[in-house]
Amino acid sequence: MNENRTSSDPHASTSAQRPLRVLITTDWWEPVVNGVVASVQTLRRELLALGCDVRVLTLSQGLRTRSEEGVYRIGSVSASMVYERARFGMLSSRRVLRDVLRWAPEVVHSQAEFSTYVWARRIARTLSVPLVHTYHTIYEDYTHYYSPSRTVGRKVVETFSRRALAATDAVIVPTTKVADLLTGYGVHRPLHVIPTGLDLHRFRPARSEEERAEVRALRASLDIAPDQRVLLSVGRLAKEKNLDEVLEMVASADRSDAVLVLVGDGPYRGELEARARALGITERVRFAGVQAPSEIPRWYRLGDVFVGASLSETQGLTFIEAMASGLPLLCRRDPSLASVVVEGSTGWQFENTAQFTARLHMLLDDPQRRERMSRAAVAHAQATCSAQVFGRDVLDVYQRARQRRAPLVMIREAVPA
């Protein structure tokens, strides 16, 4: 069953006597920088603002298990042979488990399907509380990491996802694209479509002279001339991001007045650098490398147009961040971006090189059009991607799951063991 976002009173979800206790479990957490971490951090902040008592259970960057303010870090080992910066967590820690059970969360919200999901499922079952899960990743787009056959890889993902999600009380997905995918896998849990919200105070166009000076300094550091336009991409340099196609289209468009800036790093960087050389566009491509999360808003302000060709997105958070920062979007057509790209207003989706080139020329040759689309992008982001709405909608899912589970708990308590 698909359930889109609702607008019930968020304050009804917390008890008058005490705040709702929520445990969020995730394999990904700072210092790692990716879309899952950004989403979980936003959710934690918004739930706290709504009066919830929130703790996070995640993986440490080493074997040592430790705890800090509101965060449990379980000892783990590297799993980079499977996926860069991934880790396998220990499946037991009596001290952490004892502490979590003593605290007694009323909802467990898992954000990954592997190590910490085992913990989430065990804790929720022990306490007889709802297990809510957010499905972030379309794993079948990553089959090249673990299967020589896409067909076999998809079947593995389908079976794995269906079995893992069978234990949940509710599943949150960021787009209808993901909801439809899970339905096709045979997942029959309540599905709630809730786009991840953004902190729009961070992601916005340059406002002050100081911020404009920062942009000029970034341009100078990359040897970008004042009259050149910046085509920006932000994200991990991995095969599934399809940046080869972006390089090919930039080469085909043949705009000497445009520079492609790739912000991020990853296992595919060497191949992309080689591809840029082969295409003869090395002078028009800048590899900016990994940037600290606090610096990312500055890099968005560097851009004039945001470009991408990935088909592996579940929501495309970087596209939304770019839009909020005032960048028109030029991206490959994908259902996950249907609510993000308003054709001709916030940007365009393309299906081939000819479309990409035509739209790029329209943006670069008409500054007034680009400015109108920049303003429309900011307005659309503010209207549809609020972090506050995200937090309230997730809290509503918790309440629905608790209400559905309450009769079951009463029945179990009434029946002698």
Is residue 360 domain-shared with residue 223, that is, in the same domain? yes
Confidence of residue 1 (pLDDT cuts 50, 70, 90): low
Residue 204 lies in a domain: no
Is residue 233 domain-shared with residue 378, that is, in the same domain? yes
- Please tell me the distance from the alpha carbon of residue 246 to that of residue 252, in angstroms, as a whole number: 10
- Range of the structural domain that residue 304 is part of: 209-384
- Please tell me the distance from the alpha carbon of residue 103 to that of residue 404, in angstroms, as a whole number: 23
Task: Report strand pairing: 131-134 vs 229-234.
Answer: unpaired
Average pLDDT, the chain: 87
Residue 348 lies in a domain: yes
Is residue 266 domain-shared with residue 308, that is, in the same domain? yes
Q: Where are the extended beta strands (E) located within 182-302?
A: 191-193, 229-234, 258-263, 285-289
- Please tell me the distance from the alpha carbon of residue 131 to that of residue 112, in angstroms, as a whole number: 12
Confidence of residue 12 (pLDDT cuts 50, 70, 90): very low
- Please tell me the distance from the alpha carbon of residue 274 to that of residue 411, in angstroms, as a whole number: 64
Residue 266 lies in a domain: yes
Residue 250: CB atoms within 10 A of its CB come to 23
pLDDT, mean of residues 253-267: 95
Percent of the chain past pLDDT 70, that is, above it, reads 86
Given a cut of 60, is residue 274 above it in pLDDT? yes
Task: Give the pLDDT of residue 202.
Answer: 87
**What is the DSSP secondary-structure string of 336-405?**
GGTTT--BTTTEEEESSHHHHHHHHHHHHH-HHHHHHHHHHHHHHHHHH-BHHHHHHHHHHHHHHHHHHH
Q: Report the sign of the C-alpha dihedral through residues 39, 42, 45, 50, in that order.
A: negative
Please tell me whether the overall predicted TM-score, pTM, comes out greater than 0.85 for this model. Answer: no
Given a cut of 50, is residue 261 above it in pLDDT? yes
Residue 202 lies in a domain: no
Is residue 170 domain-shared with residue 228, that is, in the same domain? no
Lowest mean pLDDT segment, chosen from 23-37, 107-121, 136-150, 352-366: 136-150
Is residue 59 domain-shared with residue 142, that is, in the same domain? yes
Residue 145: CB atoms within 10 A of its CB come to 17
Is residue 266 domain-shared with residue 404, that is, in the same domain? no
Residue pair 59/76 in contact by the 8 Å Cβ criterion: yes
Is residue 192 domain-shared with residue 316, that is, in the same domain? no
Task: Give the pLDDT of residue 408.
Answer: 57
Q: What is the CATH number of the domain that holds 61?
A: 3.40.50.2000
Is residue 188 domain-shared with residue 258, that is, in the same domain? no
Contacts of 174 by beta carbon, 8 Å cutoff, 6+ apart: 136, 193, 194, 195, 196, 314, 315, 336
Task: Give the pLDDT of residue 198.
Answer: 83
Residue 257 lies in a domain: yes
DSSP lists the bridge partners of residue 55 as 23
Residue 152 lies in a domain: yes
Task: Give the pLDDT of residue 407.
Answer: 63
Is residue 380 domain-shared with residue 353, that is, in the same domain? yes
Is residue 278 domain-shared with residue 134, that is, in the same domain? no
Residue 328 lies in a domain: yes
- Please tell me the distance from the alpha carbon of residue 339 to that of residue 32, in angstroms, as a whole number: 28
**In this structure, what DSSP letter does residue 19 have?**
P
Which H or E run includes 13? none
Segment of 72-86, 272-286, 383-397 carrying the highest mean pLDDT: 272-286
Given a cut of 50, is residue 11 above it in pLDDT? no
Confidence of residue 273 (pLDDT cuts 50, 70, 90): very high
- Please tell me the distance from the alpha carbon of residue 73 to that of residue 83, in angstroms, as a whole number: 20
Is residue 235 domain-shared with residue 372, that is, in the same domain? yes
Is residue 404 domain-shared with residue 367, that is, in the same domain? no
For residue 35, which of 191, 266, 234, 170 has the smallest C-alpha distance?
234
Residue 95 lies in a domain: yes
Residue 74: CB atoms within 10 A of its CB come to 25
Number of compact structural domains in the chain: 2
Task: Give the pLDDT of residue 30.
Answer: 83
